[in-house]
Chains A and B, each alone.
Chain A
Amino acid sequence: MRNSNIRAFFFKFGNSCYWGSSIIFVLYGILLDMNPTDNESWPEFGRYFVGFVHKYQWYFFLLIITLVVLGFFIKKLAGDEWAWNRLQFLIDAYQEKVFKKFSDDPRHFHRVTLFQYQKFRWRLGTRPGRFENKLFHKIWPYKKESHPLSGWLVPVLRSGHTTQKASSVFLCNKDHAVAEGIAGMIFIRSGTTVTQPLPVPSQSAGKKEIKKYCTESSITIDRYYQMFRNGQPPPATIGGFPIEKNGKLWGVLVLDSTSETGVDTSSIDDYSILISLIGQILERT
């Protein structure tokens, strides 16, 4: 999940660089216009300081340019905190509206998650396949269609403050049309996709049932057990749609619910105004 505190810090730092450079530029202009040797009444420190600025004026000029560029890129990377806060508000509102009939359930039973497509993602901790050499997997855990540059869907926002910790990154290789999870499928298809009710395994379910669930929800068995360890009940319905930013595919918004009637096509079709707002605010990030 997106760490809003760190991002907010960097956004403020970038903003400070940006505005700080403007103040330094104004002072720099004023100081360069002065000639302290003409005025004997100046204190020695003042004359020394203005002389210092005169002597190293090119370094000051470079400092201003560096601060402007640095501020611009840090702000761009951290994202506008105002917009991200509004997005969190909208996603929470979407979750509340679309899962209104389940308001008595714990919030993490019915979630809305925003995934961002990232071309590069350093991914460690993957498990070797059944026929894979474990030692070789430790040295190079990647495959032809699954490597740091293959494209990944990374969760950036999730509804509710109690459901922020668990986060799954899904493979989404556009070149090989290989995708994990319903999120990956939505991104590759570029259309709204909603699963039929999934065969959720019971607590005492055998491997066969678990495998069936994994196939029908397009996840690996490892991911199922990871969900289990995190105390996240497996969803019975999943759906979502691609999100655009400035006319380009940016990521996906995924709704999942432990109820068989939790997510259907109307969960998306009936909320076009909210979805439109999410798209518009995303353009400010």
Chain B
Amino acid sequence: MNLSEWVTLDDLKLDQPKDDVINGVKVKLTLSPFEKPHAIRAYRDDEECLGIIEFKYLNEFEKTKAKKVDSNLTFYVGRKTNRIYKIALDLSDFSNSEITELHLITQKIDEFESLVEPGDKHTGFDIARGSVEHFENDLVQQFAHA
């Protein structure tokens, strides 16, 4: 799949309703529509030699701040919400054949989530991680040299 254009994540059904009972009330729980990313796109920035993954939320006008989570990985997260809007992977250390696995990204999303959302709560980070895993092969293709 070509990820250079926005691809909707709603069809992937990454946020399945969960049945629960809260104070005697039987409910179905899902994420807030504001909390979950609704679309993804990815591209290679040849000038900076970066692989970029972007997520689109309902509230897309939030200002972001850069969080360097690894020597070659930066997350751009919402100033107020800590939602991941953009992931920048420095590709200068990788050759085409080496960009085969993107475990580092999902692992760092996990680590970042445990920092800002302690506990087992289902959050928008799960959708971000799930979508990176789902589109892993497409992302590798997108980040490879032309």
CB within 8 Å of B: which residues of A? 182, 185, 189-196, 215-218, 241-244, 246-248, 264-265, 268-269, 272, 275-276, 279-280
| B26 on interface, CB distance cutoff 8 Å | yes
Contact B25 A244 (CB under 8 A): no
Give the complex CA separation of A217 and B78 in angstroms: 35
Give the complex CA separation of A269 and B122 in angstroms: 16
| B58 on interface, CB distance cutoff 8 Å | yes
Give the complex CA separation of A275 and B29 in angstroms: 18
Contact B38 A192 (CB under 8 A): no
Number of A-B residue pairs, CB cutoff 8 Å, is 85
Q: Pick the residue among B19, B26, B59 that contacts A216 (CB under 8 A).
A: B26
Kindly supply a per-residue 1/0 record for chain B positions 114-146, scoring 1 wherever the CB is within 8 Å of any chain A CB and 0 otherwise: 000000001000000000000000000000000
Q: Is chain A's interface secondary structure helix, strand, loop, or mixed overall?
A: mixed
Chain B residues lying within 8 Å of A248, measured Cβ to Cβ, are 80
Kindly supply a per-residue 1/0 record for chain B positions 16-41, scoring 1 wherever the CB is within 8 Å of any chain A CB and 0 otherwise: 01010011111111111111001000
Give the complex CA separation of A265 and B80 in angstroms: 27
Q: How many residues of B contact A (CB 8 A)?
A: 27
Contact B26 A196 (CB under 8 A): yes
Contact A275 B58 (CB under 8 A): yes
Chain A residues lying within 8 Å of B26, measured Cβ to Cβ, are 195-196, 216
Contact B80 A241 (CB under 8 A): no
Give the complex CA separation of A153 and B43 in angstroms: 43
How far in angstroms is the closest Cβ of chain B from A170? 14
Assuming the contacts A242-B34, A265-B17, A276-B58, asked whether A189 and B29 have C-beta atoms less than 8 A apart, the reply is yes
Q: List 18 A-B contacts (CB under 8 A).
A: A182-B25, A185-B25, A185-B27, A189-B22, A189-B29, A190-B35, A191-B32, A192-B30, A194-B28, A195-B27, A241-B32, A241-B34, A244-B34, A247-B59, A247-B80, A269-B33, A272-B58, A279-B34
Chain A residues lying within 8 Å of B30, measured Cβ to Cβ, are 191-192, 265, 268-269
| B79 on interface, CB distance cutoff 8 Å | yes
Contact B38 A272 (CB under 8 A): yes
Assuming the contacts A269-B10, A272-B10, asked whether A190 and B24 have C-beta atoms less than 8 A apart, the reply is no
Chain A residues lying within 8 Å of B59, measured Cβ to Cβ, are 244, 247, 276, 279-280
How far in angstroms is the closest Cβ of chain A from B138? 23
Give the complex CA separation of A217 and B25 in angstroms: 6
| B111 on interface, CB distance cutoff 8 Å | no
Contact A196 B27 (CB under 8 A): yes
Give the complex CA separation of A243 and B35 in angstroms: 10
Contact B17 A247 (CB under 8 A): no
Contact A192 B29 (CB under 8 A): yes
Give the complex CA separation of A248 and B78 in angstroms: 11
Contact B25 A218 (CB under 8 A): yes
Contact B31 A247 (CB under 8 A): no
Contact B80 A191 (CB under 8 A): no
Closest residue to A185 on the B side, CB-wise? B22
| B45 on interface, CB distance cutoff 8 Å | no
| B62 on interface, CB distance cutoff 8 Å | yes
Known: A182-B27, A191-B29, A247-B62. 8 other contacts (CB 8 A): A190-B35, A191-B32, A192-B30, A216-B26, A272-B33, A272-B38, A279-B34, A279-B59
| B81 on interface, CB distance cutoff 8 Å | yes
Chain A residues lying within 8 Å of B24, measured Cβ to Cβ, are 215-216, 218
Central interface residue in B33, B35, B62, by most chain A CB within 10 Å? B33
How far in angstroms is the closest Cβ of chain B from A192? 4
Closest residue to A252 on the B side, CB-wise? B32
Give the complex CA separation of A241 and B81 in angstroms: 17
Chain A residues lying within 8 Å of B25, measured Cβ to Cβ, are 182, 185, 195, 215-218
Closest residue to A242 on the B side, CB-wise? B32
How far in angstroms is the closest Cβ of chain A from B107? 25
How far in angstroms is the closest Cβ of chain A from B8? 10
